[in-house]
Amino acid sequence: MNILILSCGTRNKIVQYFKRELVGKGLVMATDCSDLAPALYDADKHFIVPRMDDDGYIDVILSICKENNINAILSLIDPELSLLAKHKDDFLNIGTVPIISDFDVVEMCFDKYKMYEFLVDNGFQGVRSYIDKDTFYRDVDAGVISYPVFVKPVKGSASININKVSSKEEIELLFSRFDHLMIQEFVDGTEFGADVYIDMISNEPVALFTKQKIKMRAGETDKSVSVKDEKLIDLIKTFVKKAGFKGIIDIDIFKVNGEYYISEVNPRFGGGYPHAYECGVNVPKMIINNINGIENVDQIGIYNEGVYMMKYNEIKILK
């Protein structure tokens, strides 16, 4: 049983967790396009590969899988997830299972407006969004929404190019300068995160960990505390089943006036997953079970509330 982790970057903990599960049973291998990706050096074997947007990138990865008898493959960065989902069959054909949702579901995650439409169409609360500015202006006039609002790229990643605007003039200026923008309600609530594993045999969510975010730094959760709320857990279970996610995903949620709003989904291990792991939510083990043909039993909610996670810097030295 060998696992390949693509674009491992600084995600040493993920590599370490897989290694802990596979000790004596298999190897954890990792790739990155930079030899200064510290997680490479926690893997049993590592490969420096071309940049993902290079021609032939996927062939390089397929070769690595074939030559190293890779049973399962996963990526830790957003731009690669669609690529992995798109080439799912190519990997399955050589006996490698990509741990990823289906292509359409992955694409929906990276189109904030599509996600909003999905939420609304299926009866979930989403953060009110517009791609048509005239519809937005009408709603402002009707008192449905008010300034300030966010203007952001429909397909933006992290917090890049997000503007908080307070007037029609600013919106006109931004829309005249950039394409593919959307207007989103400014939601000032408490932030939550969920790590969910959807069994790849039963297609049922079998692990679900929720945490309240306490401190953010450079777009990442720096400190968080585990929470349990039946209402939130039920909402997430319904949502992931309806959307058809598979494998490991990370969900960002806002709570405003007692209501939960699903904000974003990353169909991969989230940056805060170590919190879930240290609370006993062992997703690497569940992935390995699935690859071995074993269906996981439902372990949703089996963790303690009130457990705090705090990040700090560890270093790796390369001589």
CA 272 to mean position of chain CA atoms: 10
- Cis preceding-peptide flag for 148 (omega within 30 of 0): yes
- AA letter at 91: F
The interface mask with a second copy, positions 137-156, x = CB under 8 A, is: --------------------
Q: Is residue 12 part of the contact set for a second copy (CB under 8 A)?
A: yes
Q: Is residue 20 part of the contact set for a second copy (CB under 8 A)?
A: no
Q: Nearest to residue 27, comparing CAs of 35, 17, 18?
A: 18
Q: Is residue 308 part of the contact set for a second copy (CB under 8 A)?
A: yes
- AA letter at 201: I
Residues 260-289, interacting with a second copy (CB under 8 A): 271, 274-275, 278-279
Q: Is residue 257 part of the contact set for a second copy (CB under 8 A)?
A: no
> Mapping DSSP to helix (H, G, I), strand (E, B) and coil, where does residue 17 land?
helix
Residues 26-65, interacting with a second copy (CB under 8 A): 36-39
**Number of residues engaging a second copy in binding (CB under 8 A):** 34
Q: Is residue 88 part of the contact set for a second copy (CB under 8 A)?
A: no
Closest separation in Å from C-beta 215 to a second copy: 8
Phi, psi dihedral angles at 69 (to 5 degrees): 45, 55
Binds a second copy by CB under 8 A, chosen from 7, 11, 100, 149: 11
Closest separation in Å from C-beta 179 to a second copy: 26
How far apart are alpha carbons 23 and 307 in whole angstroms?
28
How far apart are alpha carbons 55 and 261 in whole angstroms?
39
Binds a second copy by CB under 8 A, chosen from 67, 176, 188, 304: 304
How far apart are alpha carbons 31 and 15 in whole angstroms?
11
Q: Which stretch binds a second copy (CB under 8 A): 19-27, 168-176, 196-204, 218-226?
A: 218-226
Binds a second copy by CB under 8 A, chosen from 10, 68, 238, 299: 10
Q: Is residue 307 part of the contact set for a second copy (CB under 8 A)?
A: yes
Q: Which is nearer to a second copy, 17 or 116 (CB)?
A: 17
> What is the per-residue burial (b if ≥16 Cβ within 10 Å, else e) of 43-56?
bbebbebeebeeee
Q: Which is nearer to a second copy, 97 or 281 (CB)?
A: 281
CA 252 to mean position of chain CA atoms: 9
Closest separation in Å from C-beta 226 to a second copy: 10
Residues 197-216, interacting with a second copy (CB under 8 A): 214-215
CA 5 to mean position of chain CA atoms: 15
State the number of CA atoms in the 13 A half-sphere of 154 facing the CB: 18
State the number of CA atoms in the 13 A half-sphere of 171 facing the CB: 21
Q: Nearest to residue 161, comparing CAs of 194, 217, 112?
A: 112
How far apart are alpha carbons 36 and 12 in whole angstroms?
12
Q: Is residue 160 part of the contact set for a second copy (CB under 8 A)?
A: no
Q: Which is nearer to a second copy, 142 or 315 (CB)?
A: 315
Q: Is residue 158 part of the contact set for a second copy (CB under 8 A)?
A: no
Q: In what order do the strands lie in the sheet with 129-130?
A: 129-130, 181-185, 149-153, 163-165
Q: Is residue 319 part of the contact set for a second copy (CB under 8 A)?
A: yes
Q: Is residue 86 part of the contact set for a second copy (CB under 8 A)?
A: no
Q: Which is nearer to a second copy, 157 or 203 (CB)?
A: 157
Q: Which stretch binds a second copy (CB under 8 A): 192-200, 203-211, 247-255, 304-312?
A: 304-312
User: And the tokens for 16?
Assistant: 């370490």
Binding site for a second copy (CB under 8 A): 10-13, 36-39, 214-215, 217-218, 222-223, 271, 274-275, 278-279, 304, 306-319
